[in-house]
Amino acid sequence: MTQHPGNPAGLSDPHDLDLFEFARTGRQAAGVVRVSQLPRMLNEVPAEAPDRDTAFTWQAEGTTQPELQDDGAEGPQPYLRMAIHGAAWLECQRCLTPYSQPFNVDSIYRIVGTEAEAEEFPLDEDEVEVIVGSHHFDLIDLIEEELLLSLPLVPKHEVCPEVHESLVSGVAGAEGEGDEGASDEAGEGGEPQRPNPFAALESLKRGEPGDKKH
């Protein structure tokens, strides 16, 4: 079921969430957030994108697990699981045109009370991230942070459109006939192992004087 961005299921305000209570009571929530609500993410979307204001669906679930505390006693450790799915338009760094980048985030966070606790948590923990919880936690800010961290290092199409091919041809054609030769070679019935026809022509020309002497 699609939720209105301002009224996610199970939450009165995702910008002001008691994260400790959310985890302690094992609550769940789901909603939709648009790129226009995420200013830092919106900065990544090119102005010429077909749709700058795409939407992401998200689901959040709080839970606790019994863990050994600092005082040696076992107590409930709060956790948050967050899933985010959707797509946003980015600029391909090869052909400089917009393309749709999918995002699929599924993260588990160990909720701690202070920055000092977060710094003490081992950095080699691959599957669990650490966040500092609060009684006024901004869940939308966490969603935006995860999307920004999920941005590809080099945004690009899997296969660029034809404009990219023309750019490549323009570069290859800087030496005049070199580009034409490449086209001829590619058009010889799909036989890349054949020698360059211009190289063969040069070889033939070099052989002609010798043939005429006999």
Among the three residues 124, 149, 174, which one is the final residue of a domain in this structure?
149
142, 186: one domain? no
CA 14/CA 33 separation, integer angstroms? 10
What is the model's pLDDT at position 73?
A: 79
What token pair was written down for 106?
A: 């599924």
Same-domain status, 118 and 189: no
- Evaluate whether residue 155 is within a structural domain: no
Which residue matches tokens 């941005």? 151
Given a cut of 60, whether residue 168 has pLDDT beyond it is no
User: Rounded CA gap, 193 and 172, in Å?
Assistant: 20
| Same domain assignment for residues 37 and 125 | yes
User: Amino acid identity, residue 184?
Assistant: D
- Residue that finishes a domain, picked among 99, 120, 149: 149
The answer to whether residues 38 and 135 belong to one domain is: yes
Q: What is the reported pTM?
A: 0.70
What does the block give as tokens for 202? 């040069």
Domain limits for position 124: 19-149
pLDDT for residue 124: 62
Instruction: Please report the DSSP string for 9-59 in residue order.
Output: BT-S-TTSB-HHHHHHTT-EEEEEEEGGG-HHHHTTS-TT-S-S--EEEEE
Residue of 189 and 64 predicted with greater confidence? 64
More confident residue, 153 or 206: 153
Q: Are residues 178 and 113 in the same domain?
A: no
Residues 62 and 89 in one domain: yes
Residues 101 and 36 occupy one common structural domain: yes
Q: What is the pLDDT of residue 126?
A: 62
Please say which residue of 149, 179, 195 terminates a domain.
Answer: 149
Number of domains the chain contains: 2
Tens-digit pLDDT profile for residues 17-52? 999 999 999 999 999 999 999 999 999 999 999 999
Let me know if residue 38 belongs to a domain. Answer: yes
Q: pLDDT (tens digit, 9 = 90+) per residue, 199-212?
A: 544 544 455 444 44
Q: What's the CA gap between 93 and 98, in Å, rounded? A: 9
Residue 88 DSSP class:
E
